[in-house]
Chain A
């Protein structure tokens, strides 16, 4: 019971008129609405997809597929969470689907494309990033996603909870367990 209450607190109903406007526009295929979403969210969407899929081409495909899925399913948007939260959930599921398809094809994904990274704060060593990316690739889906959303994209645990449909406390615990696991591997590699 307490778990349910915590989950409900982590996922407050925060639908606004703006969410409904976005959902309506997407359902109708209004390109100005899609353009608005693209302008505001594509940078983060591409980064999340890139960090899940490991290459630019697949990341762009995932973003495009997410927009199409949003267009198809926007009429079923029920307002349980913010429209953009729902959209990020669609993106992450699209990335999971792409990874599963890739696993089925038993293909090695290229680890990195040539990219220009915008680094926040002090610059870090490329080798360290490569190592961390490889370690993330070996993690279970949910752990990897929580780590990427919190540590890479800077989302709060409350936001992550709403996107992944888990409680804020659960998100915090998953991140801690993931970082502990990474820390062990990090020590061994260095």
Chain B
């Protein structure tokens, strides 16, 4: 196989044994390519002698220690992360519990306040009804008509119902149903007393 100087670089690029043999064959008859090939091979030969080899008995133990220390560090790092997560979880739990307690305490306070307000309003309502009762008392103690007798009996029944309801409320202050029931009985008592007073004014007009 014959080649020209123009193709010489292609052989050097290829660089395999066969290409280099062809290049060498061409270089035998071509001074400029021979010079090129000589420096090319000289660089390769010089490079082959650059492989550095030395023994250092301390290097492996040094690497072994470093890897061991790194392993230890990464292990303790894992433990540190785990401990941090645990502490975070415990702190989170405690904070949540404290907040929950505070919220429950606030609920109790709010409930107590609402209850006191209801009881206060009830007291005022009862006082107003008692006032009405005082006004109707003279007529009721000596009823002059069958209608007033009937009102008196109704009022006695209502008082019994109020007493019973109140006893139940004293046992369970937060029972809203009993409170609504008590309010209904008082409203009925109030209406009855008003009718007694109206009956009284009718009678005095006649």
What residues make up the interface of A, taking CB atoms closer than 8 Å to B? Answer: 29, 31, 34-35, 38, 42-43, 46-47, 50-51, 56, 59-60, 63-64, 67-68, 71-72, 115-125, 128-129, 132-133, 147-148, 151-154, 172-173, 175-176, 179, 182-183, 186-187
Chain B interface size range: 20 to 34
Give Cα A121 to B47, complex, Å: 12
B contact residues vs A (CB 8 Å cutoff): 9, 12-15, 36, 39-40, 42-54, 56, 59-60, 62-64, 66-68, 70-71, 74
- Tell me the bound Cα distance from A172 to B16 in angstroms: 10
Nearest CB in chain B to that of A119: its residue:
B49
Least CB distance from A150 to B in Å reads 8
Q: Which residues of A contact B49 (CB under 8 A)?
A: 117, 119-120, 123-124, 129
Q: How far is the CB of B75 from chain A (nearest CB, A)?
A: 9
Main secondary structure of the interface of A (DSSP, over half): helix
Question: B68 to A132, Cβ gap below 8 A?
Answer: no
Candidates B39, B44, B70; contact of A71 at CB < 8 Å: B70
Chain A residue contacts of B64, Cβ below 8 A: 31, 34-35
Question: Given the known A-B contacts A172-B13, A175-B15, A179-B40, are A118 and B59 also in contact in the complex, defined by CB atoms under 8 Å?
Answer: no
Given A60-B56, A175-B15: A67 touches B51 (CB 8 Å cut-off): no
Among A43, A125, A179, point to the contact of B43 (Cβ < 8 A): A179
